[in-house]
Homo-oligomer: A and B are copies of this chain.
Amino acid sequence: MTVKTRRQEYVEATRTALLDSAGRLFTEKGFAHTSLDEVAASARVTKGALYHHFSSKQALFEHVLEGVNERIAEAVMSAGGNADDPWERMTSGLDAFLDACLDDEYQRICLQQGPAVLGWERCREIEARMMGLLDAMLAELADSGARLTPSPLLTRVLFRMVSETALAIGEAEDKKAARAEAGELVTGLLASILRGAPTADEG
């Protein structure tokens, strides 16, 4: 690999600036009410530069979403990685995910706008990274004797269940309280689904 030239750095910086501006504006005003001129101006370039880097408004949004999603997936993965017990990995990963969901950008872009702009199908392809984490955890739990038959549909439904609590947290006035309530509820639900026991700590 060659050392990056100064020019290449500039290019990358421009691209990053565009993605950052787009992320911020899409989050604040939504996809439909954000104009590309606005995004470009906010990144101190013109629409020409934007279209040089991204083929369409939708493509720009897609790259923004991928970035946000990747960032959250990273956080979840690093949180769940250190525990020994699979159930503990699951719950700590879940906690990390719910915490990450306090992030406005993830809320608006990935959970709200994403499905409508790109369609659920494409959106779930991007979510595959995150979904894969959940899937792996479910498989581990199944191996370690949990009462569950893993299936893509189950993974998907559970993921959406957690996402919904994430949305609920985002809409609540008292986010701390909502976060706490959501954590308890989700843990309890997963416990009763996966273990057949009321709660995690009573089992």
Contact = CB atoms under 8 A, between A and B. Distances in A.
Interface of A: 31-32, 112-113, 115-117, 119-121, 147, 151, 153-154, 156-157, 160-161, 163-165, 167-168, 171, 181-182, 185-186, 189, 192-193, 196-198
Contacts of A181: 151, 153
Contacts of A161: 157, 160-161, 164
Contacts of A116: 31, 112-113, 115-117
A167 to B, nearest CB: 6
Given A116-B115, A160-B160, A161-B160, A121 B153 contact: no
Copies held by the complex: 2
Given A31-B116, A196-B197, 12 more contacts: A115-B116, A147-B198, A151-B185, A153-B168, A153-B182, A156-B168, A157-B168, A160-B163, A160-B164, A161-B161, A192-B192, A193-B193
Nearest to A107: B120
A153 B182 CA distance: 8
Contacts of A167: 120
Contacts of A113: 116
Contacts of A31: 116
Interface core residue of A112, A113, A164, A185 (most chain B CB under 10 Å):
A164
Contacts of A120: 112, 167, 171
- Scoring A121, A151, A161, A182 by chain B CB atoms within 10 A of each residue's CB, the highest score goes to A161
Contact of A185 (B157, B168, B182): B157
A157 B151 CA distance: 20
11 contacts: A32-B32, A112-B120, A113-B116, A151-B185, A156-B164, A157-B168, A157-B186, A157-B189, A160-B160, A160-B164, A196-B198
